[in-house]
Amino acid sequence: MPLGDNLGDKSDSRYCGVETEFNDDMPHVLSYNINGGFDFVVAPLMEPGYRASMVNSANRESSVLPFAGSDLVLSPAQWSSHVVGKISSWIDLDSDDDVLREDSEIALKQELAWASHLSLQACLLPTPKGKSCANYARFVNQILENLNNMQLWLRIPLVKSDDNDDDSVNGTSDGMVVEPTDSWELWNSFRELCEHHSQLSVALDVLSSLPSVNSLGRWFGEPVKAAIVHTDSFLTNARGYPCLSKRHQKLLSGFFYYSIQIVLSGKAVHNLPVGSSASASGQTDNYTQQAQRHEIRSYLDYVGYLYQKMEPLPEQEHFFLLQLYCINVDLYLIMQLGYRDFLQSPLQPLMDNLEAQTYETFEKDSVKYIQYQRAVSKALVDRIPDENASTTTVVLMVVGAGRGPLVRASLQAAEETGRKLKVYAVEKNPNAVVTLHSLVKLEGWENMVTIISCDMRCWEAPEKADILVSELLGSFGDNELSPECLDGAQRFLKPDGISIPSSYTSFIQPVTTSKLYNDVKLHKDLLHFETAYVVKLHRLAKLSPSQAVFTFTHPNYSPDKSNQRYKKLRFEIPIETGSFIVHGFAGYFDAVLYKDVHLGIEPTTATPNMFSWFPIFFPLRSPVYVKAGSPLDFHIWRCCGSTKVWYEWCVTSPTASPIHNCNGRSYWVGL
């Protein structure tokens, strides 16, 4: 039974599992827990007392094993949909005891082979026992090379020592050096040894004590598939039911948002009120009478209560998801797979003509055009005093008019302010020009709007403009060649003319995003690691606030005008975050349209409810490990040639990466 109907993201996080003990009657285990309200079980596949060294056989690896019945005790659909295999917890492949190590290797191989035979979707691997996990990782890596589609979840406790505690960092305890504890380091070491394999994921053990908020944030960029919440982590509310601390509640909300499934583990440790039939949230449901038989049903009810309290998906995301369905086959795939974290190549606005459905999608972003209308209104009022409003006509040019939304916004601004307007709509796409002509005729704008079917860089205007309006911005501000286009169109503008936008700045920040890194890695080539992608970022950890990169101002009358840029940035990450991995950099922009009217997607100043732009993502060919407290130095260049513009980027500290996209060999925007 899913946790509930929620207006938010319909994802795997609405399904809750339960960790069970070994029982050779698997049909009973499954029936008891499914009827109790859980969606799946995390169940051991082998009798816990089994050791290969105790089997009297010349070939221990081929011995008949004490599994939980045959594969026939459940249907294939039941095995696949309702069972996650739990590998024996005694396994220790890095033990100093040779017998235990060899037994562990044999058992791990046998259990995973059986799980694969059952077509399980996932198996839970035990936590590495010591500081070294090299042999364990080597063995798992070998299995991953030949594994079917099954996921391996490495169980990792969610712990990190207090870095401000003198006894936890380079300190002493009873005369002995105490190493800081950070389970992320254990996970990172393991996955590095397995070369960031896409089928290796994390199952976090959530305990009663939690690390700092910054430390927890790192995990949202990691491939966390499940969070195992122990019943002894729950508190008791005033009515006697289990509940979680505010910090645990916030953490679970994060798990829901990032599609991480919850697994409950342990025995009931709360004495519920006698005769109670209500759920932990104070609500009753259709399953109450039946589900009360399950000893930890009240904990499940509470998790369901938190899920149903989750913030709903913003309305503009609902709309954009529906719009994406109609654009083309590739975006239909986004709809099928989930449009979040889907890598898309940026538009080539000068080389390619947009399709009608693409125009239609982005024209629906009313917020953007409201901001443009506000900017034009302010510019008109500043340009023409009230006493001259009825006698003076403002010449306004929309360069890159598309199918006319900026023309409409400008004319509405003129009507709103009582100013007279003459509009030139300049558009290079001949297909969009057809729609423009129809729009002008339909709206009766023939006396106000002149349509120019031409590239703005080639057109010779019959008169100078008071106001130049454009929407040529990309996800990184300048990445769709707005500087080059507006520099070319600047000759239309009067010396005291106004450009809308008047300036724009790009921003960038380091991120952990295993999902995107593995998606790029699947291509197995250099080109894709040197391409900047437009992507609706979701499963990532933002490691530091974004910093400004390049700023462009229009009109630009500088005698040494150049659109080439170079920027070096240093990111200081709070030491309490702990060590982390950087998979790449997320890019945004913020634009000043006119005076105090702005729009953008930089997280701290983003225009609410605007969906025209997704962030941009600059990947790194090899993830960069940054030790706690170390700075991260990033360099980025905007390079201009005679026929193209491109970016190059690299990291120089704490370690040096290659310079990506040298000479625009992999990714560029054509002039």
Task: Report the alpha-carbon distance of residue 588 to residue 667 in Å, rounded.
Answer: 18
Per annotation, catalytic residue among 111, 471, 602, 648: 471
Task: Please tell me the distance from the alpha carbon of residue 225 to that of residue 493, in angstroms, as a whole number.
Answer: 55
At 311 the pLDDT is 72
Rounded CA separation 321/335 (Å)? 7
Q: Please state the residue numbers annotated as binding site.
A: 359, 368-369, 427, 455-456
Q: What is the mean pLDDT of residues 57-67?
A: 59
Q: pLDDT band for 132, please (50, 70, 90 cuts).
A: confident
Q: pLDDT tens digits for 213-262?
A: 999 999 999 999 999 999 999 999 988 899 999 999 999 999 999 999 99
**Which domains does the chain possess?**
12-55+62-162+179-313 (3.20.20.150), 356-500 (3.40.50.150), 503-670 (2.70.160.11)
Measure the CA dihedral 26/27/29/32, to 10°: 180
Q: Is 367 helix (H, G, I), strand (E, B) or coil?
A: helix
Residue 572 above 60 pLDDT?
yes
Catalytic residue among 111, 185, 222, 480: 480
Quick one: residue 297, left, alpha or beta (phi over 0 = left, psi -120 to 50 = alpha)?
alpha
Average pLDDT over residues 185-204: 96
Count the alpha carbons within 13 Å of 265 in the hemisphere toward its beta carbon. Answer: 19
pLDDT at 140: 97
Known binding-site residues for S-adenosyl-L-methionine equal 359, 368-369, 427, 455-456
Residue 536's DSSP bridge partners are 340
Q: Which residues contact residue 376 at a Cβ distance below 8 angstroms, ignoring those fewer than 6 apart?
A: 396, 409, 410, 413, 414, 467, 469, 500, 594
Q: Which of 248, 258, 226 is nearest to 8 (CA)?
A: 258
Q: Are 141 and 193 in contact (CB under 8 A)?
A: yes
Q: Is 185 assigned a catalytic role?
A: no
pLDDT above 70 for 448: yes
For residue 123, the surrounding DSSP H or E stretch is strand 122-125
User: 29 falls in which pLDDT band (50, 70, 90)?
Assistant: very high
Q: Specify whether 295 is catalytic.
A: no
> Rounded CA gap, 8 and 312, in Å?
4
State the Cα–Cα distance between residues 358 and 360, nearest whole angstrom: 5
Indicate the average pLDDT of the chain.
88
Give the whole-angstrom CA distance, residue 482 versus residue 111. Answer: 58
Burial class (CB in 10 A: 0-12, 13-18, 19+), 335: middle
- 303 closest CA partner among 45, 18, 512: 18
